[in-house]
Amino acid sequence: MIRLGGGLAFPGELPNIVEEAAAAAAMRSEGLQYGPLYGLDDLRDAVVDYLAHDGVTAGRDNILIVNGAKHGLDLACRVFIEPGDAIIVSGPTYMTALAIMKTHEVEFIVVAQDAQGMKVDELESMLDARRRRGAAPPKLLFDVPDFHNPTGITLSEARRRRIVELAVEYGFRILEDDPYRRVRFEGTPVAPIKTFDTGDYVIGLGTVSKILAPGLRIGWVNASPEIVGRMAAQKCDHGTNPFVQRIVAQLFMNGKVDEHIDRVKQTLRVHRDTMVAAVREHLPGSMVEVPQGGYFLWVRLPDDVDADALVRRAGELNVEVNPGGLSFAGPTPGQFIRLAYSFCNPEEIRTGIARLGEAYRSMRAAQHAA
Strand partners, 221: 64, 205
Binding mask 167-206 for ligand PMP (x = CB under 6 A): ----------x-x---------------------------
Nearest residue to the partner ligand PMP, using Cβ? 68
For ligand PMP, which residue of 15, 117, 145, 214 counts as binding (CB under 6 A)?
214
* Residue among 7 and 242 whose Cβ is closer to ligand PMP: 7
The residues, any chain, with a CB within 8 Å of residue 297's CB and separated by 6 or more, are 152, 272, 275, 276, 279, 288, 291, 338, 339, 341
Residue type, position 190, single letter: V
Burial class (CB in 10 A: 0-12, 13-18, 19+), 266: exposed
* Span of 67-75, 99-107, 165-173, 247-255 interacting with ligand PMP by CB under 6 A: 67-75
Residue type, position 40, single letter: L
* Residue among 325 and 357 whose Cβ is closer to ligand PMP: 325
For ligand PMP, which residue of 89, 106, 144, 221 counts as binding (CB under 6 A)?
144
Q: How far is CA 216 from CA 4, 34, 278, in A?
A: 22, 17, 32
DSSP 8-state symbol, 193: G
- Does 152 bind ligand PMP (CB under 6 A)? Our answer is no
- Does 117 bind ligand PMP (CB under 6 A)? Our answer is no
Question: For 261, what's the count of Cα atoms within 13 Å in the CB-facing half-sphere?
Answer: 19
What H or E segment, with its residue span, contains residue 357? helix 346-369
* Span of 68-76, 78-86, 102-110, 229-237 interacting with ligand PMP by CB under 6 A: 68-76
- Does 207 bind ligand PMP (CB under 6 A)? Our answer is yes
Which DSSP string do the residues of 106-170 spell out, in sequence order? Answer: PEEEEEEEETTEE-HHHHHHHHHHHHHTTPPPPSEEEE--SS-TTT-----HHHHHHHHHHHHHH
- Does 7 bind ligand PMP (CB under 6 A)? Our answer is yes
Report how far residue 97's alpha carbon sits from residue 165's, in angstroms, rounded to the nearest whole number: 24
* Residue from 179, 175, 228, 181 nearest 197 by CA: 175
For ligand PMP, which residue of 113, 209, 245, 342 counts as binding (CB under 6 A)?
209
* Span of 64-72, 166-174, 239-247, 283-291 interacting with ligand PMP by CB under 6 A: 64-72
For ligand PMP, which residue of 149, 292, 327, 335 counts as binding (CB under 6 A)?
149
Residues 76-115 that bind ligand PMP (CB under 6 A): 94
- Does 70 bind ligand PMP (CB under 6 A)? Our answer is yes
Residues 27-56 that bind ligand PMP (CB under 6 A): none
* Residues making contact with ligand PMP (CB under 6 A): 7, 68-70, 94, 144, 149, 177, 179, 207, 209, 214, 219
